[in-house]
């Protein structure tokens, strides 16, 4: 069993065990790189990483360059979960057979997929990995849109967002469906640990990721990743948007242990109205037209109901 | 817990599926990710029983689809160890995306394909549609005509694919049901001798070497993609053929069983010949033996290595043959059959005066009868006598209704 890394302060944390290089071509202000660095820096152990096709992949491994100072694999859009499960299986096989080159290490196996790769096309593969309980961590970089290909809707795209395949128009307010509850689906696999995180609450994130690393078995992490390009806000405001997403409770931070025990890990002192979260993003601009204002009310009701549900789940201890 | 070795009789009665499962056990594969599908399911089940009975030390991952099976195999192989799986038909079709990725990433995975038709209409029986579906995927492809060959070719495939000069995955094809479910006598090799032949896996660019991190599966656009593909094709054309030859030769030294990229039967002094694959080769051999007794100069060529296609060997074998029938067991979808095309390519622009005709047969497991084959040879002889192909170049045989002929 490896030791849990001690994190003293943000400055120390942000520069330690730096295995994801700043030399990448992600958009300025992209939250992906912040989340990935926070997760990787949460441990000093060796890493075996995978990524699905998407922003993170195309921006960090363009031949002959790589941004990864740790073993990394990409196969396709839907299967970063299974590729890392395969690598983890090989680790177990070589351990049994006594053929590991460095048998004294405690590698962590982490897969990164966007919401398109996770909520949509790769759902079956992730489900298989969670069901088989591989000793791995699956991380969704959830920016609620197919950002890499120019902003098409996914099943993570929330109600009323204007996207290239569900654009707002003269007779449409954009996306008609509510966001899929992937946390609920993954927790229903009764995996040892599932958690929702956000890069602005980095201490909460590190605590959860370290808990995940210390867990034997499958871990699912859903990370909100504010997308400057598709959510349409200034690159300098990534952390502001992250704050709005957690403090409006649009993106509540909680964990589910063994599929049952739910703990809310962050309770904002001052809850921000959902309207403020929506108003900060170009993708929801049209909702402020008179004919669509009822949707803002609907948003607030849904967020309140979800928060209420999480609180009841937490209180019930089931 | 140490795993057990298995005592085998010199000759066991095995079907092709069991022979393949035994070969995978004996090669001590490190990781198998698998998903069952008819008619390859008994490979997956047989291996599971070996695992349950402590004959397997490696990991056996039962995934939720064939796409996941190959995805897991790719991750495992990139991590650095021996990897294999098995599938058929629709499963292979689902897997195709990852077949190209495995080949492009130069990962030496071994895939047993128990050949079966592709829907629609749904059909579980043997034809070569699945083999043809992945023929341009960049994998080395072997074809077994019998359970014995399915057993032997697995070992040979590991030797070829895992060679550091090759690092290209291999497929071993066998006919659904006709090979996979038909028990025959199989000459076995002991566990230790098999493992010694394939050797312990030697990793290269392995993700589990933490002192040397490696990036697998990068992006290349118009600046480098072509060079990667061209270099891989170059290795297929120039490196792999000799490696296969060497593996065949070493295997012969070990067992006395001689394999060739092109398997000739009664081709010495033959005037007319059939070229085919799978169990049909054995059926045609029987007919050839009977016809030879009647003094007819007939022969048969079985294609052992489908990719890289043995152009030189086929050209050499057929250059003096007067008439040849290419038998393709896959719906051609608006073109000539693969064998017809490749044989043409082997002899075009040469001095050969061979009269080539193509036949589509046996789709969805339809029998190829000895009577069909005799008729076919008669037709070839008629072409020789006339000095030209008297029929259209592409015909369907064994199908109901009026005779179908094209080209």
pLDDT at B298 over 60: yes
Q: According to the model, what pLDDT value does residue B370 have?
A: 98
Q: Which residue of A has its CA nearest to B206?
A: A71
Three-state SS at A15: helix
Q: What band does B1 get if pLDDT is binned at 50, 70 and 90?
A: low
Q: Which residues of B151-171 are buried (b: 16+ CB within 10 A; e: fewer)?
A: bbbbbbbbbbbbbeebbbbbb
> Span A229-254, mean pLDDT?
98
Report phi then psi at B263, rounded to 5: -95, 110
Mark which residues 279-298 of B lie under 8 Å from A by CB.
none
* Residue A142: partners with Cβ closer than 8 Å, 6 or more residues away: A114, A115, A118, A119, A156, A222, A223, A224, A225
The CATH number of whichever domain residue B348 belongs to comes to 3.40.50.920
Is the residue at A172 inside a domain? yes
**B309: Cα within 13 Å, side-chain hemisphere:** 16
Same domain, B126 and B49: yes
Is the residue at A230 inside a domain? yes
Report phi then psi at B356, rounded to 5: -110, 130
pLDDT at A4 over 90: no
Q: Which residue of A has its CA nearest to B81?
A: A90
Mark which residues 122-141 of A lie under 8 Å from B by CB.
124-125, 127-128, 131-132
pLDDT at A8 over 90: no
Same domain, B99 and B226: yes
Q: Are A220 and A193 in contact (CB under 8 A)?
A: yes
How far apart (Å, rounded) are the C-alpha atoms in residues B38 and B88?
A: 7
How far apart (Å, rounded) are the C-alpha atoms in residues B175 and B88?
A: 10
pLDDT at A172 over 90: yes
Q: What band does A253 get if pLDDT is binned at 50, 70 and 90?
A: very high
pLDDT at B266 over 80: yes
Domains held by chain B: number: 2
Same domain, B295 and B372: yes
Is the residue at B379 inside a domain? yes
Number of Cβ atoms within 10 Å of the Cβ of B294: 7
* Residue count (chain B): 407
Three-state SS at A63: coil
* DSSP H or E run through B193: helix B191-198
Q: Which neighbouring-strand residues pair with A261?
A: A257
Point out the domain boundary residue: B220, B239, B255: B255
How far apart (Å, rounded) are the C-alpha atoms in residues B351 and B365?
A: 37
Selecting from B64, B208, B216 the residue whose C-beta is nearest the C-beta of A124 gives B64
Size of interface A-B (CB pairs under 8 A): 170
Q: According to the model, what pLDDT value does residue A1 have?
A: 55
Same domain, B248 and B199: yes
How far apart (Å, rounded) are the C-alpha atoms in residues B198 and B254?
A: 12
How far apart (Å, rounded) are the C-alpha atoms in residues A169 and A186?
A: 35
B105-123 residue pLDDT tens: 999 999 999 999 999 999 9
Same domain, B249 and B116: yes
Same domain, B149 and B293: no
Same domain, B51 and B194: yes
Is the residue at B115 inside a domain? yes
Same domain, B289 and B241: no
> Span A291-316, mean pLDDT?
97
* DSSP H or E run through A276: helix A274-279
Partner A contacted by B85 (CB < 8 A): no
Measured CA to CA in angstroms, residue B64 lies from A79, A123, A131, B78, B102 at distances of 12, 11, 10, 21, 19
Same domain, B314 and B189: no
Same domain, B242 and B380: no
The CATH number of whichever domain residue A263 belongs to comes to 3.40.50.970
> Span A59-88, mean pLDDT?
97
Is the residue at B4 inside a domain? no
The CATH number of whichever domain residue B215 belongs to comes to 3.40.50.970
Query: Which chain A residues have a beta carbon less than 8 Å from that of B213?
Result: 68-72
Q: Which residue of A has its CA nearest to B58?
A: A93
Contact A75 B75 (CB under 8 A): yes
Is the residue at B6 inside a domain? no
Q: What band does A12 get if pLDDT is binned at 50, 70 and 90?
A: confident
Point out the domain boundary residue: B255, B290, B316: B255
Is the residue at B3 inside a domain? no
Same domain, B140 and B80: yes
pLDDT at B315 over 90: yes
Domains held by chain A: number: 1
Supply the range of the domain harboring residue B104. Answer: 11-255
Taking the model in full, what pTM does it have?
0.97
A198-224 residue pLDDT tens: 999 999 999 999 999 999 999 999 999
Strands B170-175 and B110-115: parallel
Is the residue at A41 inside a domain? yes
Is the residue at B1 inside a domain? no
Supply the range of the domain harboring residue A227. Answer: 10-316
Q: Which neighbouring-strand residues pair with A110?
A: A49, A137
Is the residue at A76 inside a domain? yes
Is the residue at A180 inside a domain? yes
pLDDT at B41 over 60: yes
How far apart (Å, rounded) are the C-alpha atoms in residues B187 and B165?
A: 30
Is the residue at A1 inside a domain? no
Point out the domain boundary residue: B255, B280, B310: B255
| DSSP string over B292-356 | HHTT--EEEEEESEEES--HHHHHHHHTT-SEEEEEE-S--SSS--HHHHHHHHHHTTSS---EE
Q: What band does A14 get if pLDDT is binned at 50, 70 and 90?
A: confident
């Amino acid at each position: 069993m490896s030791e849990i890394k001690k994190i003293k302060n943000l400055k120390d944390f942000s520069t330690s065990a730096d295995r994801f290089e700043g030399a990448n071509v992600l958009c300025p202000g992209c939250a992906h790189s912040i989340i990935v660095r926070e997760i990787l820096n949460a441990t000093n152990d060796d890493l075996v990483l995978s990524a699905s096709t998407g922003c993170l992949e195309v921006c960090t491994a363009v031949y002959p360059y790589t941004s990864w100072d740790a073993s990394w694999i990409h196969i396709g859009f839907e299967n970063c979960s299974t590729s890392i499960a395969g690598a983890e299986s090989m680790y177990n096989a070589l351990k049994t057979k006594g053929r590991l080159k460095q048998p004294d290490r405690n590698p962590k196996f982490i897969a990164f997929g966007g919401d398109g790769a996770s909520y949509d096309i790769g759902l079956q593969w992730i489900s298989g990995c969670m069901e088989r309980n591989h000793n791995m961590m699956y991380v969704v970089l959830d920016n609620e849109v197919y950002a890499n290909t120019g902003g098409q809707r996914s099943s993570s795209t929330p109600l009323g967002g204007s996207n290239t395949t569900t654009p707002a128009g003269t007779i449409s307010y954009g996306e008609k469906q509510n966001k899929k509850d992937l946390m609920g689906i993954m927790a229903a696999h009764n995996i040892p640990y599932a958690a929702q995180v956000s890069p602005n609450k980095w201490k909460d994130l590190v605590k959860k990721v370290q808990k995940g690393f210390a867990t034997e078995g499958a871990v699912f992490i859903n990370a909100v990743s504010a997308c400057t390009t598709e959510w349409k806000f200034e690159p300098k405001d990534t952390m502001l948007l992250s704050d709005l997403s957690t403090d409006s409770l649009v993106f509540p931070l909680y964990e589910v242990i063994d599929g049952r025990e739910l703990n809310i890990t962050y309770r904002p002192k001052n809850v921000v109205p959902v309207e403020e979260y929506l108003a900060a993003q170009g993708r929801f601009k049209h909702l402020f037209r008179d004919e669509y204002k009822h949707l803002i009310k609907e948003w607030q009701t849904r967020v309140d109901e979800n928060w209420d549900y999480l609180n009841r789940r937490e209180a019930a201890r089931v | 817990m140490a795993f057990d070795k298995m005592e085998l009789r010199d000759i066991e009665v095995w079907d092709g599926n069991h022979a393949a499962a035994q070969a995978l056990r004996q090669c001590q594969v490190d990781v198998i990710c698998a998903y069952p599908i008819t008619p390859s399911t008994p490979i997956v089940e047989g291996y599971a029983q070996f695992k349950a009975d402590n004959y397997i030390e490696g990991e056996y991952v039962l995934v939720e689809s064939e796409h996941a099976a190959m995805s897991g195999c790719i991750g495992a192989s990139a991590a650095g160890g021996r990897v294999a799986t098995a599938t058929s038909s629709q499963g292979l079709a689902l897997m195709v995306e990852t077949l190209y990725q495995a080949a492009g990433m130069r990962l030496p995975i071994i895939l047993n394909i128990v050949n079966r038709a592709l829907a629609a209409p749904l059909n579980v029986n043997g034809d070569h549609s699945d083999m043809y579906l992945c023929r341009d995927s960049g994998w080395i492809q072997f074809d077994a005509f019998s359970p014995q060959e399915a057993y032997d070719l697995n070992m040979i495939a590991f030797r070829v694919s895992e060679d550091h000069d090759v690092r290209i995955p291999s497929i071993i094809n066998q006919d659904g049901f006709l090979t996979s479910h038909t028990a025959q006598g199989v000459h076995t090799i002991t566990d230790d001798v098999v493992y010694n032949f394939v050797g312990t896996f030697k990793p290269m660019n392995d993700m589990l070497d933490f002192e040397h991190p490696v990036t697998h599966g990068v992006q290349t656009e118009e600046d480098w993609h072509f060079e990667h593909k061209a270099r891989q094709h170059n290795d297929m054309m120039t490196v792999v053929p000799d490696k296969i030859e060497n593996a065949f030769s070493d295997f012969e030294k070990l067992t006395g069983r001689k394999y060739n990229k092109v398997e000739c039967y009664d081709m010495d002094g033959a005037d007319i010949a059939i070229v085919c694959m799978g169990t049909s080769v054995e059926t045609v051999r029987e007919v050839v033996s009977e016809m030879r007794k009647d003094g007819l100069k007939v022969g048969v060529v079985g294609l052992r290595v489908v990719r890289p296609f043995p152009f030189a060997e086929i050209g050499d074998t057929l250059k003096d043959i007067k008439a040849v029938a290419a038998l393709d067991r896959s719906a051609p979808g608006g073109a000539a059959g693969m064998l017809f095309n490749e044989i043409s390519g082997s002899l075009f622009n040469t001095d050969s005066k061979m009269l080539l005709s193509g036949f589509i047969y046996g789709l969805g497991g339809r029998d190829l009868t000895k009577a069909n084959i005799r008729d076919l040879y008669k037709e070839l002889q008629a072409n020789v006598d006339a000095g030209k192909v008297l029929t259209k170049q592409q015909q369907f045989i064994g199908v109901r209704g009026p005779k179908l002929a094209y080209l």
